[in-house]
Amino acid sequence: MTWHEFVHMGGYGAYVWSAYGLTAAVLLWNLAAPLRRRREVLARLRRWYEQENGR
């Protein structure tokens, strides 16, 4: 297989690569969302403990 054939995908390039692009997007979202959630939870927990100590 050559690079041209690889990109062209026998005429189905647009379909194949949009399917793989969408897959990449879903995989990345599944990684980014828990990382963001972890930062949020840690920040919330710190505030929660600060409030508790302040009381």
Partner 1 sequence: MWAFLHRLASPRHFYHLTGRWIPWLGAATALCLATGLYLGLWVAPPDYQQGDSFRIMYVHVPAAWLSLFVYVFMAAAGAVGLIWNMKMADCLAVSAAPVGASFTFLALATGAIWGKPMWGTWWVWDARLTSELILLFLYLGYIALQNAIEDPRTAARAGAILAIVGSVNIPIIHYSVEWWNTLHQGPTVTRFDKPAIHPSMLWPLLLMALAFQLYFFTVLLMRARSELLWRERRSRWVRELLTQDDIQPSAEREEATP
By the criterion CB under 8 A, which residues form the site for partner 1?
1, 6, 9-12, 15-16, 18-20, 22-23, 26-27, 29-31, 33-35, 37-38, 40-42, 44-46, 48-49
**For residues 17 and 23, what is the distance between their CA atoms, to the nearest angstrom?**
10
The residue (of 10 and 54) whose beta carbon lies closer to partner 1 is 10
Give the type of residue at 38.
R
Distance of alpha carbon 38 from alpha carbon 32, whole angstroms:
10
**Closest separation in Å from C-beta 7 to partner 1:** 11
User: Which residue carries 């840690």 as its tokens?
Assistant: 42
Least distance from partner 1 to the Cβ atom of residue 55, Å: 14
